Chains A and B, each alone.
Chain A
Amino acid sequence: MVRRALLAAAALALAALGVIPPAAASTASAGQTLRVESDTSFSTFNPFLAYFAGDQQVIYGVYPLLTQAAENGEPAPYLATKWTISPDHLTWTFTIRSGLKWSDGVPLTAADIAWTYNLIMKNPTAGTANGSLVADFQSVTAPNATTLVIKTTAPESNVAYEATIIPVVPEHVWASRVKNLANFRNMSSFPVVGYGPWILTGYVSNQYATLTANKDYYAGAPAYQTLVIQYFSNSDAAVAALRTGALDEIDDLSATQYDSLKGVRSLGLYPTESNIWDAIELNTGARTKSGSKFGNGNPALADPAVRKAIALAINRQELVAKVLNGLGVSGAGYLPPAYPQWWWTPPASMYEGYNPAEANQILDKAGYTMGPGGVRIDPKTKKPLVFRFGIHSDEASDGEIAPYIVEWLAAIGIKVDVQAMSFTQLNSALPKGDWDMLMDSWNTTADPSYLLSIQTCGTLPQNASTPGNTDAFFCNPSYDKLYNQQLTDFSTAQRVQTIDQMQSLLYQANVDIILYYSDNLEAVRTAAVKDYFYGSPNRQGFYPIQTDVLNWQQAKPVAVTTTGGSDTGLVVGAPIAAVVVIALGAAFAARRRRTAGERE
């Protein structure tokens, strides 16, 4: 009897848990809290160490930058109101906004910026996240509270761009932390002293960070009182949370998730221009800086004719349609379309559209005769043209792309052996050169220097056991010359011209066959949040690339209307609880009758 009563009580409690509206969620829906999904889990809020996107989302909200990326990605004023470059292009002088105060009331001056930059330049631990950005800085000084002077060792056109990435910290708080910087995570004592649209006021380990609006922010306090950045380890759970109103925004949706949300009236869907490409990298021959070869890549891929034939055999438009459900742009140039100033499309004479017939002709002409089973024979090695194709086993789109590639390359007499590997396995196979074709993906910030740099000869490994940053062992001295030139092009028009030439070289080399640029698919709870996105959609309906900090800064709550979410819970949940109780009662009565029967 007692046991059954306990059971019934447990069932009731469970039903009640489902019915009770969560206390905080109901107050949050009153429009004071903006809840967004973080891009990754949280590791550290120490701006000198953080390089995971989720950590950076929080850090850029609570620490200031010398300059910030404007809506078009170009550097715009933040702590600096304006800047000038000396005639020899070696000295950058920034004028710093006056009258700013850290969140603890201490004045924020040029000295804080100089201190932060110097620490990154001199202390290798402080340089963990952004050390390479200041590698060519000779000195950073603050002659007075409103002037910052950066001197570089060589002319460098992207200093203002680099400043959009390096967070500045208050010297009076961080000076004592330098000794133990590697172990300091900045996750336990709140509020965190900083300056930005938000103040970091709380963090629940591995779950979410809470930020509060900074009333003293120079551009005006955000409309929301509180910002919660929450981590979901499963994107489907995040989508479920968005649908039920537990989240206000998520990004990085898959095409399938995006399509599944199309009918939901409370949501607005926004595809934004891509800053990422997906490509097939071809191993042109693994070699060290000094030229000694290693790895077991198929030598046929060193032949430009084979690479060109592969490029012509791939139908990139179809991949966009089938894999991305049309939410992307088919690939060509090396830099993705998010930053229109660097967007390059090949001229008609150079364009390599889907043309298997031409691909077959090229291979025929180069002496790759058709062998048994429809696989061509390499005239040099006398072996059939069989390439290993490494794909990420943890990346759904790779799995979708692979069968198309197998079929398309089979049509030109190349056999493809698909090998699914984990992200870490693939990454470790890459520098060893033990591969033929690999799926890879890179993204870029508004300053393309880093993405361009991974194709320079300098990224080849020093020796076979130390990996370099190269992705396909490409090395072309003319490309390197152009790379160095674009670093010293101080007029944007001039830099665009140089970068166009670099992209043209890469396109013709066919080492990174760019398949497509996938849109970043975002969804916002427009029933509760307005003005989250900026810019207007282009002809394809894609919005310009967005910056989280700017989105959160301008988002406003929709005028509160009682949406009865919790009432619905009660209305429908109470009958369910009642049904559970009645069913339990009936079962109990039946049991009693049966035991009574057994007793006789």
Chain B
Amino acid sequence: MTAASVPASGVSAASGAVEFFRYLAKKLAGAVLSFAVLLVIGFVIFSLMPSDPLEALTRGRPTSAAQLAFLRKQLGLDQPVIERFGSFAWNTVQGHLGYSWQFQEPVSTLIAQRLWPTLLLTGSAMVVSAIAGLWLGIRSGWRPGSLLDRGASGVSLTFWSVPTFWLGLILLVLFSVGFGPVPPLFPAGGMSTPGTAGGLALSHILDVLRHLVLPCLTLSLVIFAQYVTIMRSSVIDELGSPYLLTARAKGLRDADVRRRHAVPNALLPSVTVIFLQLGGLVAGAITVETVYSWPGLGYLTYQALQIPDLPLLEGTFIVFSASVIVMNMLADIVYRYLDPRVRRQ
């Protein structure tokens, strides 16, 4: 007998749990497989990079042949590729991400140090852009073709097309140097003013917030278009639905019809985008972090690429990809609750 033929409602809770765990196990297995594949990709890509890290590390400073040989041995570059992959995979599984050549520090420590600034920047930018984007998208979609719709779509798509570093530089010059009668409003770079007390002092928090404004604004302006367009089109899809007519017939105000009926149904595609973004949060924003000297993971990756600092590159690659895998798995689980259709599949 298959589970599907059991009709009783009392049994369905238990079978639901079994279903759920089966679903979870399947997703977990998929995630583990993806992780294994990315270990191989991560290693192969960076090992095939056509440059000798030793050459970059020692260029421009006096280095004897004996020193070069010592460095090569110290960095493990004298081992055959297979052996290097073996120790890399084994160490990664154990949670050791290796040792950065450039910073002479464990990769995991470096990533941990930069994680918080990156999450602060990308997280706040995501919140700002999601709120602004969804809000504008809902209103634009509700009245397609209106002045607000045309304005919002035009502006958001313009920002979406603008190169991030260029926008960053323009905002930096405008608001940190000042223009016309506008004085310098925000700092030009870094995450805090030298000399302020750190920790949780109010002055320090305010100081970090001041430094956050411009990078967060830049990033938000660039990414909020995707929320506007997705939300707008899903609201438009709902516009002709009979249930909205029913709601109106009940005498609900226009704003209530939109908020209570149209928006919840139109939200699912945006949730997908938000989860995709969440997975990418730790990867930071290389260009914004570089323009504003924000000490985050994106900039760390850029620094690692310049050498190339292989353990650091492999480490950041693994952490970034793993976070996408984890977030995708979470999204799959959340879908089961948001959309009954996923449960039935």
Q: Give A residues with C-beta under 8 Å from B.
A: 14, 17-20, 22-25, 27-28, 33, 35, 41, 43-44, 46, 49, 51, 124-125, 127-129, 131-133, 135, 182-183, 185, 204-208, 210, 226, 228, 230-234, 236-238, 240-241, 243-244, 246, 423-425, 427-428, 430-431, 442-443, 450, 453, 462, 466-467, 469, 568-569, 572-573, 576, 595, 598-599
CB within 8 Å of A: which B53-67 residues: 54-56, 59-67
Do B194 and A208 touch across chains, with their CB atoms under 8 A apart?
yes
Q: Contacts A14-B213, A462-B65 given; 7 further ones with Cβ under 8 A?
A: A27-B195, A132-B63, A182-B74, A206-B295, A210-B195, A228-B194, A228-B195
- Residues of the A chain whose Cβ atoms lie less than 8 Å from the Cβ of B169: 234, 236
Do A237 and B74 touch across chains, with their CB atoms under 8 A apart?
no
CB-CB nearest 7 A-B residue pairs: A18-B185, A206-B295, A428-B51, A24-B195, A132-B62, A240-B188, A237-B189
B92 contacts the other chain (CB 8 A): no
- Interface bits B166-197 vs A (CB < 8 Å: 1, else 0): 00010011011110011111111111111110
- Residues of the A chain whose Cβ atoms lie less than 8 Å from the Cβ of B317: none
Do A131 and B51 touch across chains, with their CB atoms under 8 A apart?
no
Do B308 and A424 touch across chains, with their CB atoms under 8 A apart?
yes
Do B189 and A28 touch across chains, with their CB atoms under 8 A apart?
no
- Residues of the A chain whose Cβ atoms lie less than 8 Å from the Cβ of B196: 22-24
Sampled A-B contacts (12; CB under 8 Å): A23-B193, A27-B195, A46-B104, A132-B62, A206-B113, A207-B295, A233-B189, A424-B306, A424-B308, A427-B52, A453-B62, A467-B52
A246 to B196, CA, bound (A): 13
Assess A204 versus B103: contact at CB under 8 Å? Given A132-B63, A599-B253: no
Stretch from B202-210, B235-243, B273-281, B333-341 contacting the other chain: B202-210
- Residues of the B chain whose Cβ atoms lie less than 8 Å from the Cβ of A244: 176-178, 184, 188
- Residues of the A chain whose Cβ atoms lie less than 8 Å from the Cβ of B291: 233-234, 237
When the two chains form the complex, which single residue of B102, B188, B290, B295 contacts A246, counting CB atoms closer than 8 Å? Answer: B188
Do A572 and B182 touch across chains, with their CB atoms under 8 A apart?
yes
Residue in A closest to B176 when the chains form the complex, CB atoms? A240
- Interface bits B199-236 vs A (CB < 8 Å: 1, else 0): 00001001101100100000000000000000000000
Do A425 and B50 touch across chains, with their CB atoms under 8 A apart?
yes
Residue in A closest to B287 when the chains form the complex, CB atoms? A234
A133 to B64, CA, bound (A): 10
- Residues of the A chain whose Cβ atoms lie less than 8 Å from the Cβ of B195: 24-25, 27-28, 33, 210, 226, 228
Do A207 and B190 touch across chains, with their CB atoms under 8 A apart?
yes
Residue in A closest to B210 when the chains form the complex, CB atoms? A17
Residue in A closest to B49 when the chains form the complex, CB atoms? A424
B70 contacts the other chain (CB 8 A): yes
B114 contacts the other chain (CB 8 A): yes
Smallest beta-carbon distance B25→chain A, Å? 41
When the two chains form the complex, which single residue of B50, B183, B193 contacts A22, counting CB atoms closer than 8 Å? Answer: B193
B255 contacts the other chain (CB 8 A): yes
Do A238 and B189 touch across chains, with their CB atoms under 8 A apart?
yes
Do B55 and A135 touch across chains, with their CB atoms under 8 A apart?
no
B247 contacts the other chain (CB 8 A): no
Do B255 and A595 touch across chains, with their CB atoms under 8 A apart?
yes
A204 to B116, CA, bound (A): 14
Smallest beta-carbon distance B97→chain A, Å? 15
Do B52 and A241 touch across chains, with their CB atoms under 8 A apart?
no
CB within 8 Å of A: which B33-77 residues: 50-52, 54-56, 59-68, 70-71, 74
Do B51 and A425 touch across chains, with their CB atoms under 8 A apart?
yes
Residue in B closest to A184 when the chains form the complex, CB atoms? B104
Do A234 and B193 touch across chains, with their CB atoms under 8 A apart?
no
- Residues of the B chain whose Cβ atoms lie less than 8 Å from the Cβ of A237: 172, 176, 188-189, 291-293
Do B295 and A205 touch across chains, with their CB atoms under 8 A apart?
yes
A576 to B179, CA, bound (A): 13
Assess A572 versus B181: contact at CB under 8 Å? Given A132-B63, A182-B74: yes
Do B290 and A233 touch across chains, with their CB atoms under 8 A apart?
yes
Do B56 and A206 touch across chains, with their CB atoms under 8 A apart?
no
A22 to B196, CA, bound (A): 9
Do B177 and A240 touch across chains, with their CB atoms under 8 A apart?
yes
Do A204 and B192 touch across chains, with their CB atoms under 8 A apart?
yes
B198 contacts the other chain (CB 8 A): yes
Smallest beta-carbon distance B210→chain A, Å? 5
When the two chains form the complex, which single residue of B62, B185, B207 contacts A24, counting CB atoms closer than 8 Å? Answer: B207
A120 to B172, CA, bound (A): 45
- Residues of the A chain whose Cβ atoms lie less than 8 Å from the Cβ of B191: 207
When the two chains form the complex, which single residue of A25, A44, A132, A423 contacts B67, counting CB atoms closer than 8 Å? Answer: A132
- Residues of the A chain whose Cβ atoms lie less than 8 Å from the Cβ of B54: 467
When the two chains form the complex, which single residue of B70, B114, B193, B293 contacts A231, counting CB atoms closer than 8 Å? Answer: B293
Smallest beta-carbon distance A331→chain B, Å? 19
Residue in B closest to A424 when the chains form the complex, CB atoms? B51
A43 to B182, CA, bound (A): 38
- Residues of the B chain whose Cβ atoms lie less than 8 Å from the Cβ of A204: 192, 194, 198
Smallest beta-carbon distance B339→chain A, Å? 27
